[in-house]
């Protein structure tokens, strides 16, 4: 792990300056921290895209983290729902998202006099369905964490050593990842997902996904939290139905990152 960290510093040093696509998650926060430490504040710009798929709570946390790290932070307004092809929600949804994001950030890189855009791609991602990687390559955007072969657990451990509060932060993905592939993405659906997950988290559950299959909510939590969900099933049912779901279920397999990808084989490849 130490060797990988040293390699990360070498990669960033070679870049000289970077614009970091910054979500406030475990990976991009660690990347931003190391970039500022290695290159200096004046050579790093964090850019956060505020959109329909990004919860307001995450935006506020990103602001706090950038301030904690001492990074210059720019927030831009974007809209995935206006990107052609995105709302159809096919297997390439993440390509459209990342392509739209980098189309916004790369011009900022040029305007601000920077030479590189980087994002929080990690070694774990290379074994998953990640259409966004193709978009990054097309725009010349690099993933230094992945280039250094750093995995999620290593990034968490290093983040802990740096006293970053995100070292134990639950994994997060955009709200659109909660909606079953092939089902159209709308603002209404994104809002009910955000409200539903916020309500369940308020019960004391840190890691939760409310997967949406039309009018069915499929709740994923870690096995240790299932008892808490069941003991609050009446209030959860009442509130999620109030938010717009007709049926509310608990997935006995528990939280699984990228669980919606299981359905990809059933879709026609584009």
- Catalytic one of 11, 174, 175, 190: 174
CA of residue 156 relative to chain centroid, distance:
15
How much of the chain exceeds pLDDT 90, in percent?
83
CA of residue 2 relative to chain centroid, distance:
26
pLDDT for the residue numbered 91: 87
Distances (CA, A) of 204 to 167, 208, 257: 19, 10, 20
CA distance 94 to 218: 21
How much of the chain exceeds pLDDT 70, in percent?
94
268 — pLDDT class (breaks 50, 70, 90): very low
174 catalytic residue (yes or no) = yes
Average pLDDT, the chain: 93
Closest CA to 260 of 199, 209, 200, 189: 209
172 — pLDDT class (breaks 50, 70, 90): confident
pLDDT digits (tens, 9 = 90+) for 98-147: 999 999 999 999 999 999 999 999 998 886 667 889 999 999 999 999 99
pLDDT digits (tens, 9 = 90+) for 157-168: 999 999 999 999
Q: For residue 263, is pLDDT > 80?
A: no
The DSSP result for 204-219, as a single string, is: T-SSEEEEEETTEEEE
Partners of 237 in the β-ladder: none
Q: For residue 178, is pLDDT > 60?
A: yes
- What ranges make up the beta strands (E) of 99-222? 117-118, 208-213, 216-221
Partners of 77 in the β-ladder: 50
Q: Which domains does the chain have, with CATH numbers?
A: 1-162 (3.40.50.620), 175-268 (3.30.300)
Q: State mean pLDDT over 5-11.
A: 97
């Amino acid at each position: 792990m130490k060797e990988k960290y040293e390699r990360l510093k070498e990669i960033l040093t070679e870049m000289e300056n970077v614009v970091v696509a910054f979500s406030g998650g475990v990976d991009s926060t660690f990347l931003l921290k190391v970039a500022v430490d290695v290159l200096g504040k004046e050579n790093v710009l964090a850019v956060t895209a505020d959109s329909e798929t990004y919860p307001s709570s995450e935006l506020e946390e990103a602001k706090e983290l950038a301030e904690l790290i001492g990074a210059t932070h720019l927030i831009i307004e974007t809209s995935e729902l206006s990107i052609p092809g995105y709302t159809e929600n096919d297997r390439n949804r993440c390509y459209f998202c990342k392509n739209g994001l980098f189309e916004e950030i790369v011009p900022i890189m040029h305007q601000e006099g920077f030479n590189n855009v980087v994002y929080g791609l990690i070694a774990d991602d290379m074994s998953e369905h990640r259409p966004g990687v193709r978009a990054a390559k097309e725009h010349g955007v690099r993933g230094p964490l992945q280039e250094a072969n750093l995995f999620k657990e290593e990034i968490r451990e290093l983040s802990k050593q740096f006293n970053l509060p995100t070292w134990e932060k639950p994994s997060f993905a955009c709200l659109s990842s909660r909606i079953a592939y092939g089902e159209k993405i709308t603002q209404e659906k994104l809002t009910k997902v955000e409200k539903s997950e916020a309500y369940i988290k308020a019960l004391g559950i840190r890691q939760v996904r409310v997967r949406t299959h039309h009018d069915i909510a499929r709740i994923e939590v870690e096995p240790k939290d299932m008892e808490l969900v069941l003991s609050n099933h009446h209030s959860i049912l009442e509130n999620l139905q109030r938010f717009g779901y007709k049926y509310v279920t608990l997935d006995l397999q528990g939280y699984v990152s990228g669980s919606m990808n299981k359905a990809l084989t059933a879709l026609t490849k584009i």
